[in-house]
Chain A
């Protein structure tokens, strides 16, 4: 039966060519959009690595002060803000805090391997303010202050990419400098995750680097542009103005901007979803378009074959058999389109085009196949039922 159907379609390949092409393109478009959707979903389901609720972000822009003066003001600023009873903790961070468009990265070297990795410069209170979770090792503490190494906490993604199953705690590696002979970076801990680019982004390799505001060796650079403030539960945004006033008394003439991380997250996620929404709308429209076209053409074709149906019914085919034949024909047609589509789509995971996990592609491929078959069967259902209902006498009479 199935072989018979395949020959039937194959023999009419010229007149079916357009429909097969259409199914082929719909399949590719669906595959693309579904890959994106599954990629987002996959990322969304993984832990963010920190708690954004109740965290306020204050960005600092200074004028023409020298690094030492800036650091002095920053240190007083932290003391002052911390002294408020509404504030639970205050931490410094480099400009690339979560839910910003800012990014700093470089190669992280170990032995002969290196991986492009984001880095975040933070102070000792960062872990407590952001409520980070560790899977191994410890956070920065007092003994790191005087250490001659640059102390870092890496995330699981970086460990997986570079160290696999080797123990990493206490290891001294080349790190960002890439100098294998004179390694300066010491790993003190491993954190669960740190999705700085928001919920829908991948947890890519990254590490936190410990910086002390008043370390002599770093006196010519200013690392921190951002103050993270965790407020106690129940503190409302009315407290913001007081905080800003307090801060501008100490940092005279600086530009200070406060935002709540909750708000930043909402708007960041909205922006991240825009491509998916646009593609889904376009894809949805194309699919509806194709479905309607398929439906119309099938309806027309089946109506043209009334005499054939009448003949089959007259020599004893049950209406169920006619129904199954027409549905079967359409599914075979879809199979041709899908087969070509799969050949093209399979190149993405095979060639690792966008460095996305293979599982995302495989799920998207499976889902696209199911949707295309459902669509084809759905479009064929009504015309096929009509064909099956034709009484043999009427059909033959018309002929």
Chain B
């Protein structure tokens, strides 16, 4: 990764910790009466959503607006895309309008990679989820939530997740969240175990930097966190598992199973949750479940990513090239932290 964020695998340990630390600072903004920073004033960001995702789009939009960026929302439905326009043409149209960054959600794995590497546009590209490939800001917000809960909000700064044991449960095969989390959590030193029926694990998973189990019950007592994945009901019709009832019985998280977790362990879910199948209401509504907290943390993480890619002097990633330097004299750039102006 250079000036784009395409995959969680592109982040080094130091890149990731810098993003998490920056997100802690961003989180403080959310606690203020006026939740706004001038950092990206004058910068234009397009949210280019080819696939429906209200949660992720709103999260990015909130992050962009809190950083004072000009925001353009583009959804494929009813747009030129539905008239047959290609990704390339759409990208070049946006480029002609002078956008600084494109946040892209696309149903096709690799679409953000193509956007960033095909010479179609010059803007920074941030992957907001592509097919079954990657969703790096989701992994970052999950890591942020884990670090806050397991290490502490103030004591966590500068820390990674060394030694933490995270169990990821469900449809790994079709999950960009699982792929992103395996990559990032491994980079941050955590031990990851994937738990799923064999039909929902990809061929070649044994080469991933994680353990694999088909047995949830034996894994739970050794977990500091359990991350439940969304399971689409239509998978049942494609014979990935026999019935919802059988799935819930073997891989669903209910109160009895939650009781097997160590006392400090948390339950995570990227949402939206299918209650009764993958997680019971009892678990979803318990104070050990961080689903709502993850949504809030998502805004902080996305603010941090946008700031570091577009506005920060301190690069978020190796060889990063803050594009602000193209537009502003050095003495007008943001200071080392983005908060100086507001805090004066």
Q: Do A and B bind each other?
A: no
